[in-house]
Homo-oligomer: A and B are copies of this chain.
Amino acid sequence: MRNKNSAPTMKDVALEAGVALGTVSKVINGLPVGESYRIRVEEAIKKLNYQVNSYAQGLKSSRTYTIALLIPNTLNPFFSKLAYQINLSLLKRKYRMLLCCTDSDPGLEQEYITMAQQNKVDGIIGLTYNPDLHIMENIPYISIDRTMGSHIPCIASDNFAGGQMAAEKLADLGCKNVAFLRVGSSLTNEPNKRKAGFENGCLARDLQYTSKILEDGYSLNEFEIFLTEHMHNGKLDFDGLFCVTDLIAYEVLKMLKKLNIKVPEDVQVIGFDGIRMFGDGDYICSTIVQPVQDIAEMCVELLLQENMTAKPPLVCLPVSYMYGGTTKESAERQD
């Protein structure tokens, strides 16, 4: 007899329906089975209140315990850290990870999605810049940094809050006149919100601000021209710069050096991402750090969570500020 206090198992359902265990499995997995058997199993499931979550645990016969990660490359330190953390999160749960670096061949993305459709992988975590990517409704897919429709959860840093945090930090550190430097992307993606957050923060803190946005494909040298145009008598008009990525901050720091402008004495610089030397060493600049480990864990958690009938369409995870030598170290709040 079944212990009434424990959750019913598939075996309980089989006993109740008077059918073999395999028949219950077939019904649950939607495989063909005689109509009278199907009805008996469904009635037993209803009567015992057999939970969907039990189905997921042991029954899906085609489970591969393999997840594919689609990512442009693992050269960029943000991507390589993401790949590392997602790998750890999956291995912790005894899942294997197929890595697919996609930047060399956009067709690869669709190929891996087809694999998911054919149940050769259980699901996909994707960070893609391909606007034409078609993801079928029934494929477990988690997107990073880009919303792809309400049926696909998107996980990202709280980019808006990060932009706002950068503005507030510069204000706290005594800046009065700041600039935002960004390379634009034509794609709608979450990192685009950094600009709106920054402007919001500047307005809230009465910070005067200027934006310099380069279109995709423009040379970063444009920033040097912009900075030179904003110099008078060897001094930069700005006392604070927010660069939309650490990569841009790094390039801008080289330009400032050439222009003989001292960091952080003359101008303070904040980047975004939290890139560290050699993966886990020094920060390259003062920066808004993306919570890569939390992003990875949330992607895996949501992807493998089969009991949710409604998955959240957008999850924004909290960022943090980290000193990295390009701002004044001891902050005195000005307000």
With both beta carbons as reference points, the residue of chain B lying nearest to A275 in the complex is identified as B278
Could you say how many copies of this chain the assembly holds? 2
On whether A280 and B75 interact (CB within 8 A), knowing A83-B83, A88-B104, the answer reads: yes
- Residues 49-97 (chain A) with a chain B CB within 8 angstroms: 66, 69, 73-77, 80-81, 83-84, 87-88, 91, 96-97
With both beta carbons as reference points, the residue of chain B lying nearest to A97 in the complex is identified as B99
In the complex, A87→B108 CA distance in Å?
A: 12
Say yes or no for A256: interface residue by CB 8 A criterion.
no
On whether A278 and B77 interact (CB within 8 A), knowing A88-B104, A99-B99, the answer reads: yes
With both beta carbons as reference points, the residue of chain B lying nearest to A101 in the complex is identified as B87
Say yes or no for A247: interface residue by CB 8 A criterion.
yes
- The reply to whether B73 and A279 form a contact with Cβ atoms under 8 Å apart is yes
Enumerate chain B residues within 8 angstroms of A280, measured Cβ to Cβ: 75
CB distance from A211 to the nearest CB of B (A): 23
CB distance from A103 to the nearest CB of B (A): 9
In the complex, which of the residues B69, B74, B284 contacts A80, with contact meaning CB atoms closer than 8 Å? B74
In the complex, which of the residues B74, B88, B104 contacts A83, with contact meaning CB atoms closer than 8 Å? B74
* Secondary structure of the A contact surface, majority rule: mixed
Say yes or no for A132: interface residue by CB 8 A criterion.
no
- The reply to whether B91 and A105 form a contact with Cβ atoms under 8 Å apart is yes
In the complex, A100→B275 CA distance in Å?
A: 22
On whether A99 and B76 interact (CB within 8 A), knowing A91-B104, A278-B250, the answer reads: no
- The reply to whether B98 and A91 form a contact with Cβ atoms under 8 Å apart is no
CB distance from A136 to the nearest CB of B (A): 20
CB distance from A247 to the nearest CB of B (A): 5
Enumerate chain B residues within 8 angstroms of A277, measured Cβ to Cβ: 250, 284
Enumerate chain B residues within 8 angstroms of A108, measured Cβ to Cβ: 91
With both beta carbons as reference points, the residue of chain B lying nearest to A68 in the complex is identified as B96
In the complex, which of the residues B91, B101, B104 contacts A101, with contact meaning CB atoms closer than 8 Å? B91
In the complex, A100→B105 CA distance in Å?
A: 23
In the complex, A88→B102 CA distance in Å?
A: 9
Enumerate chain B residues within 8 angstroms of A66, measured Cβ to Cβ: 98
CB distance from A325 to the nearest CB of B (A): 11
Residues of chain A having any CB pair with chain B under 8 Å: 66, 69, 73-77, 80-81, 83-84, 87-88, 91, 96-101, 104-105, 108, 247, 250, 275, 277-281, 284
A-B contact pairs, 28 of them (CB 8 A): A66-B98, A74-B74, A74-B81, A74-B83, A74-B84, A75-B278, A75-B279, A76-B278, A76-B279, A77-B77, A77-B278, A80-B80, A80-B83, A80-B84, A80-B279, A84-B101, A87-B101, A88-B101, A88-B104, A91-B100, A96-B98, A96-B100, A97-B100, A98-B98, A247-B278, A247-B281, A250-B278, A275-B278
The 7 lowest CB-CB distance pairs between A and B, nearest first, are A75-B279, A80-B80, A99-B99, A74-B84, A74-B80, A87-B101, A74-B83
